[in-house]
Structure 1
Amino acid sequence: MEFNLQPQKADTTVFEGEGGGYYAWTAANTPVVAEAVIGAGKLVLKPQGFALPHYADASKIGYVIQGTCTVGLISAESDNPQEKVVIINKGDAIPCPNGTISWWFNGGDSDLTIIFLGETTQSYTPGQFDYLLLTGAVGMLRGFSTELISNAFGLSHDHSKQLVESQSNVLIIKIDDHLPEKSNYKKQEDVIDLNAMFEQGGSSSVEITSRDSPLVDGIGLSPKLVRLEPETVLGPYYSTAHQIIYVTKGGGRVQIAGLNGARVLEEFVEEGHLVVVPKFFVAALMATDEGLECFCVSTSPRPLSMEIGAAYKALSSSVVKVALNVSPDLVKNFKSEI
């Protein structure tokens, strides 16, 4: 299969209003999202911006690029649904399983930006997260008759109409009300603090798999944070799962080698660019003089990856000499420098 791997910025404004906007990558301009059956979207909430309660047909992981957000979550797996309220900040990753009801509120003084990356194998629209809203102009209750609503919820005819029709806005609104501002659950039960884990790791990247967190195992996706110092390199490496890379800061060069060793991509990327690396393709990132930061998601809860340099270092010198057809001195120098 051939992939069009050109880096792309969000190409579609799904919604934009006083409270903020939601932007997406679509198959029309980023065909790889459909080819690899992945999805990507960006939520921007202005101060007092509120994303109406909704659920989606695909699992994804949200990563806070800037700001602070109050999130309400209701799991579809529970027999006795309870609303969890959590506070997420810059550097936090929050798994969002398909079918989970959520709302998002920016009670701060500055804009909030969250990038969502995930897989769309169960989506109605390949390469896209389809959202279904509980309320608003496209709320799901509008698909039912007033008589049915009255009988289902024990309401009068007038109250049933108010319940369904009073909220006429779509997706994101700006509100004056004060929503819950404190978590009622421990944050670590629902959120992965990638920023803290990165600082503890002491390397250029940190990836959280099902070995590290039950949250990852439950959603079937793995988050990864990459931070490269100016003019440093990550890779070349490969993974057993598709990787979705979103540039959150800085810039750099991305090279990807595919089947038969062909270079299938060599492009400069900057903040806002999305790049997909197909499974088993070999990728490398090199930062510019301003450094490079990326949030990545793998389409597996436990992807396996291998640095090509580490593989060469693990091979015996005699095998490397024969395989590369080079001198013993070059092999010795090569292995010592890895």
Structure 2
Amino acid sequence: MELNLAPQASDNTLVEVDGVGAYYEWTPAKSPILKAGKLGAGKLVLQPRGFALPHYSNCAKIGYVIQGACRVGIIQEEEEEEVLIISKGDAIPVPLGAISWWFNGGDSAVTIVFLGETTRSYNPGRIDYFLLSGSMGLLAGFSSEFVAKTYHITEDQAKKLTKSQAYPLIMKLDDQIAMPQSHQPNYINVISIMDCHDISAENLPLLEKVGLSASLVRLHPGAVLRPSYSTDHSYRIFYAVAGNGKIQIVGLNGALALDGEVEQGQMFAVPCFFAVALIAGGQGIDLFSVITSSRPKIGDLGGKLSPWKALSSSVVQASLNVDAEFVKIFKSNLVI
């Protein structure tokens, strides 16, 4: 597989409004692995009073709050609207087709990165959004006649309904609009990944439906993320929340597919069965990752769970073509 696996910063601005916020995305043009793996990545930034209009997408994804806090409204399968507050370190799954809105009611910016799969996207490698309102909204596409008959209103009222909101995705709300408060304080589908580091269907049941899982890796300066690989067909997509490091990815026939560096704000993806390893730089590094499986199976090439630890010493000796004393030293260092 010859793909450009190099870490990349977002390369497209879908929408940006001064003083309100923006939505940035990674595209297959710069990161072809997204299309090959049917992955998607985007980043939402909302300034105080910034509001992302209600929408849904044909992509299951997990949002991770990098900074700040915001209010989120979610409707799943025609259920009641659930309103919750998420803050830095929280991860929130957004199921395929779920309707959501996002509002920053605080006094500082909020940034959320979304990683997911785009199997059903019209543009593989990109997340397709469908807005309920606004200049890019679904209602704006229908004629006044259809809208009037649907909602039992006059055509003039239909024009007001579909044309009043001129913003395409995000807008700034004035203080006169009181947004709903959280009424789901024990909402079980939000989890602080900073506390547990890994979320899957085992500790967040909604992920069984979403079909994804996530993890957060925090490495001190010079620490290593040992070589690991997915033992099933899962792809992994990573976002560097903070810091920097060196990264290597090895693929088919032991070929080094990537030997480079990753820094804060960049995204990279690892094909299924490829092995990835990372050494944290002088700042250390925090990595948020999403795996395209609700119950991921990851193989570790180092440590006590390494296959080298499980293999009998004679097999290791023959496989590496080394002497027995080296095997003893090698296996005794496979710890943690």
Report the TM-score when normalising by structure 2: 0.94
Q: What residue in structure 2 maps to residue 50 of structure 1?
A: 51
Contact 1:51 1:172 in 2 (8 A): yes
Q: CA-to-partner distance for each residue in 1:74-94, whole Å, 9 max, x for gaps?
A: 11x23xx31110100101111
Q: What residue in structure 1 maps to residue 73 of structure 2?
A: 72
Secondary structure, aligned partner of 1:291? strand
| Candidates 247, 250, 265, aligned match of 1:272 | 265
Structure 1: runs of 5+ lacking an equivalent: 198-205
Fraction of identical pairs, as percent: 50
Return the offset for 1:99: 0.9
* Pair 1:318-2:318 in alignment: no
| Candidates 283, 296, 307, aligned match of 1:303 | 296
In the TM superposition, 1:256-267 aligns within 5 A as 256-267=249-260
Q: CA-to-partner distance for each residue in 1:57-105, whole Å, 9 max, x for gaps?
A: 1111100000001001011x23xx3111010010111111121111000
Name the CA distance, whole Å, in 2 between partners of 1:215 and 1:183: 20
Name the CA distance, whole Å, in 1 between partners of 2:198 and 2:256: 26
Contact 2:229 2:300 in 1 (8 A): yes
| Candidates 99, 117, 120, aligned match of 2:118 | 120
| Candidates 75, 84, 94, aligned match of 2:82 | 84
Contact 2:5 2:268 in 1 (8 A): yes
Contact 1:243 1:298 in 2 (8 A): yes
* Pair 1:238-2:237 in alignment: no
Q: What residue in structure 2 maps to residue 202 of structure 1?
A: none
Contact 2:75 2:98 in 1 (8 A): yes
Name the CA distance, whole Å, in 2 between partners of 1:54 and 1:183: 19
In the TM superposition, 1:32-51 aligns within 5 A as 32-51=33-52
Name the CA distance, whole Å, in 2 between partners of 1:112 and 1:213: 24
Whichever residue aligns with residue 316 of structure 1, its letter is: S
Q: What residue in structure 2 maps to residue 201 of structure 1?
A: none
Q: What residue in structure 2 maps to residue 203 of structure 1?
A: none
Return the offset for 1:268: 0.8
Return the offset for 1:300: 1.0
| Candidates 146, 149, 167, aligned match of 1:148 | 146
Secondary structure, aligned partner of 2:126? coil
Q: CA-to-partner distance for each residue in 1:96-129, whole Å, 9 max, x for gaps?
A: 1121111000111111100000000100111001
* Pair 1:21-2:34 in alignment: no
Contact 1:93 1:193 in 2 (8 A): yes
Return the offset for 1:2: 2.6
Name the CA distance, whole Å, in 1 between partners of 2:65 and 2:51: 16
Q: Mean alpha-carbon deviation: is it higher for 206-215 or for 239-248?
A: 206-215
Contact 1:246 1:275 in 2 (8 A): yes
Return the offset for 1:314: 1.5
Whichever residue aligns with residue 244 of structure 1, its letter is: I
| Candidates 314, 323, 328, aligned match of 2:324 | 328
Q: What residue in structure 2 maps to residue 106 of structure 1?
A: 104
Return the offset for 1:181: 5.4
Tell me how large the CA RMSD over aligned residues is: 1.2
Contact 1:70 1:87 in 2 (8 A): yes
Q: What residue in structure 2 maps to residue 252 of structure 1?
A: 245
Name the CA distance, whole Å, in 2 between partners of 1:179 and 1:283: 47
Secondary structure, aligned partner of 1:129? coil
Whichever residue aligns with residue 308 of structure 1, its letter is: L
Secondary structure, aligned partner of 1:323? helix
Structure 2: runs of 5+ lacking an equivalent: none
Whichever residue aligns with residue 102 of structure 2, its letter is: W
Contact 1:87 1:187 in 2 (8 A): no
Return the offset for 1:187: 4.1
Q: CA-to-partner distance for each residue in 1:155-210, whole Å, 9 max, x for gaps?
A: 1222211111111111010111444353212444221210121xxxxxxxx32222
Question: CA 1:181–1:142 in 2, change beyond 3 Å: closer, same or farther?
Answer: closer
Name the CA distance, whole Å, in 2 between partners of 1:82 and 1:303: 31
Name the CA distance, whole Å, in 2 between partners of 1:121 and 1:43: 21
Contact 1:85 1:180 in 2 (8 A): no
Q: What residue in structure 1 maps to residue 217 of structure 2?
A: 226
Q: Mean alpha-carbon deviation: is it higher for 115-124 or for 148-157?
A: 148-157
* Pair 1:217-2:208 in alignment: yes
Whichever residue aligns with residue 332 of structure 1, its letter is: K
Q: CA-to-partner distance for each residue in 1:286-324, whole Å, 9 max, x for gaps?
A: 101210101000011112111112211121212111111
Question: CA 1:38–1:179 in 2, change beyond 3 Å: closer, same or farther?
Answer: farther
Whichever residue aligns with residue 232 of structure 1, its letter is: A
